[in-house]
Chains A and B, each alone.
Chain A
Amino acid sequence: MLFPTLDFALFFMVVFAVSWELRNRQDARKVFLLAASYFFYGYWDWRFTALLAASSLVNYAAGRMIGVSHDGRDRKIYLGVAVVLNLAILGFFKYYGFFLDSLATLLASAGLERDLPFLEIILPVGISFFTFQGISYVVDVYRREVEAVDSPVDVFLYISFFPQLVAGPIVRAADFLPQLRAEPRLSRSLVSLGILLILVGLFKKMVIANYLATGLVDQVFFDPAMYAGPDLALAIYAYAVQIYCDFSGYSDIAIGVAALLGYRFKWNFNQPYRAASLQEFWRRWHISLSEWLRDYLYKPLGGSRGSAAATSRNLFLTMLLGGIWHGAAWTFVIWGIIHGTALVVERYAFAFQRSPATLPALAVSGPGYGSPAYAPVEQPVKRHMGPLGRAVGIFVTFHVVCLAWIFFRAENLRFALDYLRGFLDWDQPVQFAQPFLVMLVAFSLAAHFLPGNLVQRTSRLLEPVGPLGLGVLLGTGILLIEAIAPEGVAPFIYFQF
């Protein structure tokens, strides 16, 4: 079920009415929300609900066993088994075909052709997201950051809660489970923020992302060799805007829908293209994934506790694995390599800029604790960057991100290289730079420089509005979005991850 459809609107109205009717019967409310979440997920393909249930069961059982065990070794074994099982499910559905393809190519190049057990595997929607949430739960229980939950319904609902089930944000157990135990409340501020976020998310997705996809990006990326520099440049800027509006639009709707049900999620995006460094970019882009990678990958790898070389290695590996998480393709691997390399280079450059004389000492202690997402490097950067420096930083960061987006979006490596080669040719006539599309890209990028809390401030204005006013606002907003947007509903980009 897609968010911007009448199906979802009807579904949500029923869920909203019944779940608040069950407000005083917490257990019944949770069971109802769980059933609604499985219905939502099964709407694509009911068979995958079994996979979702199996994943939840593994994590619930592992959490219980870790929780009741006092032996450190046993706890470690339970954790290991749970993580391996989670990764095995993810690996089978996501990477099986890729590894067999690569193996077949390798064997063929060595003259050892074999019949390999290829399977036609359909990737279940949102598998990466619910797997990551499951891993997050068992690791947090192991680290004693959350208590193991007795009720299976709580764990099952945490993993399958429909607003964030298929494309995030990746919600942490420590943030969500306490909300399940508390009595749900619906305040005026949650209502106005929820409705506003739903409208903003729908506009980003249905108008901006869909127009740029159908009018420009899909056509250029379908065969980049046919186009020259200006069209390719416009298309990659358009893709940068499209993926932001598509993904952050989904997150906005998810946060808004959860708010109307009385649950609070953290923001997942914070104007990422105004970042003046790659580190800052990762604090603003897909924040829930950055935090996940920091806590469950970067830190276990050693984080920034070791030497400068070890820290750089950890940073690079984290981004490389982050790239592979997106999908089984060399293009994603290169996307991760570009981000990892840029982060490492930036880290050295900023350390050098801060104080060349003390570089070794700084490098050993490491200027950043946490992750690429939270390393406190912005402070020195800001100190040394005037407005001009910051502008240059934003320009350079945006273009590094765009370079990586080429690999992220291209169908395969050959197309990505064709795309890059096309930048050498600026002689062909421009085909796509029509005012409508150019303005769409320009305004969307300019919107990154509006005040960061504009949505919250606007939502405060809506708090005193009565039900009729809210209904007119919601109805007119959806009506205008529907009228402006291209016909049809395209799936969200991140559904495939």
Chain B
Amino acid sequence: MTPLAKIQDVRKRYGQTWALDGVSFEVPQGAVLGLIGPNGAGKTTLLKAMLGLLRFEGDIDLLGRSPRRFRHELMRSVGYISDVGILPRWMRVDQLIRYSAAVHPNFSEQVARDILSKTEVSTKSLIKALSKGMMTQVHLALVMAMDVKLLILDEPTLGLDIVYRSRFYEQILQEFLTEDRSLVISTHQVEEIESLLTHLVLIDQGKVRLCEAMDCVYERFTAVDVAASELASARSLSPVSEKNALKGATFIFDGVEETQLQALGTCRRPGVAELFVSIMGRG
């Protein structure tokens, strides 16, 4: 299957700093790819480059086309939601639905209304009268109604309470995810999306630090809580990171057989957040 997005050696400089310094990865069909990195890692710059919103060096291929040259065509099949509300605040929800139907060739008014009927959003409300959680629901309903193939989410749940965050992802699972659509999502609330991900890209200072399918991530990395007496033997197996714990330390290993590690302590699967801290060398 051809990937829905191919990012090849993408570079972007702001003044003296490289916001993106040779970023490459692919988004396969059906993937839910988590783009995880600290503040200032280049996540938003990368997503903007993918959307054709800024100039860059290197190649990006979205659904077989360049986002810079074919931005308008691509916007029919690519959706984008960011934490910055960009819906026109002065419109009513039903006006916004009718407007979208008029300007967007693939838009289905029915789908938008059906999705919103399952929420507490009234279509007669003004956008500006909605809570942030409701605005996100409206935005998601609009994107779903466009039948997009690739959905790009930049911190979509920032500022939403836990109930709305949970509903947001339920809606994505219910309405969006199919075998031929892909999702790229950048977020700080990694734990909440970990079980949704099929692929993980860790990015720091404009560089990709890890790019793997989740199955491989779990195969490669093992976390072991090691007792004080075993610290030396743990260190001899060249761990990625070592973090002091109450008794002994927690080690993360990359590509070391679990049979070799079992003597050190209990082996477990590291969470994405734990892995992130470990690889970024801040553990």
Verify that A and B bind, or say they do not.
no
Please report B residues at the A interface, Cβ cutoff 8 Å.
none
